[in-house]
Chains A and B, each alone.
Chain A
């Protein structure tokens, strides 16, 4: 194992010592032990697919956050902070916090009391089989492809950072995930995600602490960044009045309405990868508290992701480059900033912990994809469309086999991406097509009882097609971005924001028009699924400090204060 781990290539960024390798190996041993220990607690469908619906608010909340806190996310956003400055924080604050609170207080009661196993399962209850089939098939297909894309990207990172062989990284990590998810189901995935959460903080927290010490504090850091780049790199909102006065080439309307109101709402409230963790909560209060706990910690994540990127701007002697330029010149790219900062401050032992945090982030992200894929395949595709008469034991076995097959498809996708790199761009774009329209469909279904089955189906379909249409238009004619993003000065990230906004509006418009033109659904059929026809269960007679609404208010106040401080 040790000789394999230390197989080197000349360009590696960091060198692991013996104690670092022991820490990495210990992590693998621990996650496999957890899977082995939980193997006897995944014998029924509720246990295997829903973790017995007995997770506390803290476990569900940290797992909910961890499922999104993958290694590529950490490295990618640290690189974005180096490239765009503190503007990258928007993806953690306005691009997450309002959506998480909306999920907790508005949507979670319906997901929870409907006892659905999945988001497509809710669509079946609300709109019927066609909407579920479309959502489930697209989700299953894209989730397993995304897992493969992330697997390849992470193996590539491990090759660049540590000099590990790509095949070794792909097979060791994927087999480990396959073993512990097959053995312990969702409970095993959730346990490992919570473990990963602690490892990420333990491994990454030292970088901003030591970095701020080296830079001489926040005020000095801002001065150094302003000298090396521009003052706009340390302001969240003041440069967003125009597309040309900020490094990201985006307008505040794109951030507020595209990212905050649509894209993040779509991701955090309807992407089953994250919502599945909350559905495993033990009661309604835990289900509402979990996203609020996640939101509280999400607000702190920029400290270990964005701040290292900003520190890199100030303290690294070399200038990092765009990926395409770095590949030609042999320099380091923006995305290398986190490993570079890790190598800058972390000696023996600490380096191993930092690398373990990256590996843990990758593996739990993959486990999240695989467990969500397994549930959707078994309950929303296999059971309704292929075999509806199987026993609970049969579906658990199907879940175990699907886990293995899902991992193998992901491995196959990883090798496909290795041969045809452009596939990565297409797969990532494909995933974004479904998010915004799905949010429109689900939220209308929950809040407006007049929404009908055909309305939900056609709205979802037209919203998705419009998203694909806009993406293809800009792909074929890059100058079309001026129409999609409303400005000739808009840059790439602005396209995602406005594309989400327009596809959401198309979805909502079509849903409303078709619903009004079709026969209303009887009220009795909508009980437990729609506001106004459902008695939302109380969280119980608990003190103020245990009420979700109280903590949501606390998080909201902190959210506004942080945005004002870094305005």
Chain B
């Protein structure tokens, strides 16, 4: 059976990738009105990256094993 931790890895990796992509897009195309406080910290870049790395670790560590 596929481990629950693998599903969690997928969830965090996909969400992290989407958030990181949105953050990089904003870095490249800075909005006139960011709409959030502390925009200069670019939280979506580093938080998205952290979730992506964490998720990928879980995906690889708990990936379903192929049967011999």
Contacts and interface: CB of A to CB of B under 8 A. Distances in A.
Interface of A: 17, 19, 22-23, 26-27, 30, 34, 37, 41, 59, 191, 194-195, 198-199, 202, 206, 210, 213-214, 315, 343-350, 352-353, 356
B15 A26 contact: yes
Interface string B38-49: 110101100110
Given A347-B44, A349-B44, A202 B15 contact: yes
B64 to A, nearest CB: 11
Contacts of A346: 36, 43-44
A365 B1 CA distance: 25
Given A191-B4, A194-B8, 9 more contacts: A30-B7, A30-B10, A195-B7, A345-B38, A347-B34, A347-B39, A349-B18, A349-B48, A353-B15
A303 to B, nearest CB: 16
17 contacts: A30-B11, A41-B1, A194-B8, A195-B4, A195-B11, A198-B12, A202-B51, A344-B36, A345-B36, A345-B43, A348-B22, A348-B23, A348-B44, A349-B22, A349-B23, A350-B44, A353-B15
B43 A350 contact: yes
B57 interface: no
Contacts of B10: 30
A202 B47 CA distance: 9
A106 to B, nearest CB: 29
A463 to B, nearest CB: 39
B53 interface: no
Interface in B13-55: 14-15, 18-23, 26, 34-39, 41, 43-44, 47-48, 51
A269 B22 CA distance: 44
Contacts of B18: 19, 22-23, 26, 349, 352
A189 to B, nearest CB: 12
Closest 6 CB pairs of A and B: A349-B19, A349-B22, A348-B22, A19-B22, A347-B36, A349-B44
A343 B34 CA distance: 11
B68 interface: no
A34 B37 contact: no
A206 B48 CA distance: 11
A6 B22 CA distance: 19
B12 to A, nearest CB: 6
A353 B16 CA distance: 9
Most A CB atoms within 10 A — which of B4, B10, B14, B44?
A: B4
B41 A347 contact: no
A34 B41 contact: no
Contacts of B23: 347-349
B24 to A, nearest CB: 10
Interface residues of B, number: 29
B48 A214 contact: no
Contacts of A199: 11, 15
Contacts of A26: 11, 14-15, 18
A214 B4 CA distance: 36
B11 A344 contact: no
A488 B1 CA distance: 59
Contact of A344 (B4, B7, B14, B37): B37
A352 B1 CA distance: 30
A17 to B, nearest CB: 8
A510 B22 CA distance: 63
B8 A195 contact: yes
Nearest to B50: A202
A23 B67 CA distance: 33
A37 B12 CA distance: 19
Contacts of A17: 22
B8 A210 contact: no
A323 B15 CA distance: 34
Contacts of A41: 1
Nearest to A26: B14
A342 B20 CA distance: 18
Contacts of B34: 347
Nearest to A210: B38
Nearest to B8: A198
B35 to A, nearest CB: 7
B4 to A, nearest CB: 5
Most A CB atoms within 10 A — which of B8, B10, B48?
A: B8
Contacts of B44: 346-350
A344 B34 CA distance: 11
A423 to B, nearest CB: 36
A349 B38 CA distance: 16
Most B CB atoms within 10 A — which of A34, A198, A214, A315?
A: A198
A521 to B, nearest CB: 42
Contacts of A191: 4, 7
A206 B46 CA distance: 11
Contacts of B41: 210, 213
A23 B8 contact: no
A120 B1 CA distance: 32
A38 to B, nearest CB: 8
Contacts of B7: 30, 34, 191, 195
A345 B38 CA distance: 7
A214 B37 contact: yes
